[in-house]
Amino acid sequence: MSTAVRPAPPRTRLVALLTSTDHKHVGLLTGATALIFFALGGLLAVLMRTELAQSGLQVVSDEAYNQLFTIHGSTMFYLFASPIAMAFALYLVPLQIGASQIIWPRLALLGFWLLLGAGVFMYSGFLLQGGAGKAGWFAFDPLSDDVGTPGTGQDLWTLAVILAALSGILQAACVLATIVRRRAPTMTMLRMPVFSWSALVSVLMVVTSYPALVLAMTLLYVDRTTSAAVYDGAMGPIVYQHLFWFFGHPVVYVVFFPFLGAVAEAIATNSRKRFFGYPFMVASLLIFAALSMAVWGHHMFTTSAIENRYFALTTTAILVVAGIEYFDCMGTMWRAKIRMRSSMLFALGFLALFLIGGLTGIFVASPPLDYHVHDTYFVVGHFHYTLFGGTVFGMFAGIYHWFPKVTGRLLDERLGKLHFWLMVPGTLLTFIPMFVLGHDGMTRRISNYAADRGWDGLNTLSTIGSYVIAASLLVFLVNLLRSLRSGTVAGDDPWDGHSLEWATSSPPPQHNFDELPPVRSYAPLMDLREERWRS
């Protein structure tokens, strides 16, 4: 495909970057912004865990604690996990499918700017007299209405969520349109790498579910700021919950699938084998994604306003397709000569820790068991194993795998392994005690507990674990900065990669490829290597 590049007017580097419509720049900006918010959300989490380390501690006030858990959860979902998933997709999908540019690059850039606005809105609440939003990341009505949570901070929070959701929809639409319309001529859908498939199902879910969040939050904002009582009446709060969870559960998979894809790529490359069971993986991704659009009601089991049997069935059915994906990953590693790099370690960590999240999900998928643990620390432990064990470990597998492609430099392997070996015990220490605490009845979103409940020991352990995670992330930060300044030059394909992004320079040029290699399967570079060996 011939290209015409319009010469750019001279600008400073920062302005050039902030207005660049190159999908790689937009992906990097979105990713960097998401990582900054990850650090901020993490700091809030450490503060919360410090508050809970012992009964009777008063590091922050009850009011401030409400703001902490609200902004922590909101940051992690709206400003970190969802944007970082989109950042990976924006950067890598066009490269993997052999496209020279995304479709609608201006919309992708607009998405980045709206995300930035969302972050500023959400955090500026801390500067206001009444504080930031404090009705939880879900902002259930009537808790979140102008009577339950008065103040400009909550208004700004609502606007921030609208902006973040719009940002996600715009960027997802760009990725989706690019996959559908701008694949390289020989890149059929069934030759796309697993990561691109995982990004595809993720963006399909975004464009289907995020509009419900925009609607829920817009109505909430109207409800808060005008006399129109949108969510009033007996069914108002239930309608809000339906709209919110119609987004709120799919988003868990939106932030999971791209990193499952990243893990699959890391495993296949480090195992020096083609990904095992590719067609089954593709089918399971499509079915998994569709099922996860039909499970939102399991968050509402205790409301008695929904058909529990249907949502219990769909939620439990997810285990079958998730099993196929695990089986494919294991099959890829079977009898392989595995190179145990940092990316591989994080991929294995993802499989092990997400499994804990998945297995504890069976408990909360069953209405009678969910009644017992609903709104307790059991649920907090469960979803942190899916989001931290899944999304964050998968993200690091992806970062260690693709960092050389993005920057042209290698991350330090010794620091990468130290990062991993600190993060695993930190994760286990932080979140395992939560299952016991939740089962014992410790409810979520409390800033204190009575000393005679016997929860001090487990809470102290959990807090120590959170400090270990923070230390591991500092190791990663040091590694990142050192490697950016003076890391070993990586070359175009340091890992013997399988997919097209490894066929171009590191970092790739603006038009992505000078020449595309032939594409005959989902691992075109492996095909080339095999051909070379044969001849």
Partner 1 sequence: MKRVVSRGSGVVLIWALNLTILWAVAWAIFDPDAMTVALGAWMAGSVLVWAASAWWRERRAGRPSDEQPLTIVDASHATALLAIAIIAALLATQFGPWLAYISAGIALVAAGGLVRERRAARASLEQVRAAGREERPT
In this structure, which amino acid lies at residue 12? T
Decide whether 152 or 316 has the Cβ nearer to partner 1: 152
- Per-residue DSSP letter, 337: -
The two tokens of residue 28 are 């990097």
For residue 114, give every residue at least 6 positions away whose Cβ sits within 8 Å of its Cβ, in sequence order, or none: 163, 164, 166, 167, 170
Q: In the complex, what is the shortest distance from the CB of residue 262 to partner 1, in angstroms, rounded to a whole number?
A: 20
Exposure class string for 157-195: b at 16+ Cβ within 10 A, else e: bbbbbbbbbbbbbbbbbbbbebbeebbbeebeeebbbbb
Q: Which residue has the tokens 């500067």?
A: 127
Q: How far is the CB of 12 from partner 1 (least distance, A)?
A: 12
Non-local (6+) Cβ contacts of 20 within 8 A are: 26, 29, 109
149 φ, ψ to 5°?
Answer: -135, 80
Q: What single-letter DSSP state applies at residue 392?
A: I
In the complex, least distance from residue 40 CB atom to partner 1, rounded to whole angstroms: 19
Cβ-contact 490, 502 below 8 angstroms: no
Give min distance, CB of 43 to partner 1, in A. 25
Residues 6+ apart with CB under 8 A from 255: 77, 81, 82, 84, 85, 387, 391
DSSP state, residue 6 = P
CA distance between the termini of the chain: 30
Three-class DSSP category at 515 = coil
Query: If 0-12 CB within 10 Å is exposed, 13-18 middle and 19+ buried, where does residue 444 land?
Result: middle
Min CB(106)–partner 1 separation in Å: 4
- Kindly write down the DSSP assignment for every residue of 43-93, as one continuous string: HHHHHHHHHHSSTT--SS-HHHHHHHHHHHHHIIIIIIIHHHHHHHHHHHH
The pair of three-digit structure tokens given for residue 185, joined into one six-digit string: 């001529």
Nearer to partner 1, 209 or 459 (CB): 209
Min dist. Cβ of residue 185 to partner 1 (A): 5
Taking the least distance from each CB to partner 1, the nearer of 116 and 428 is 116
C-alpha dihedral, 301 to 306 to 310 to 312, nearest 10°: 0
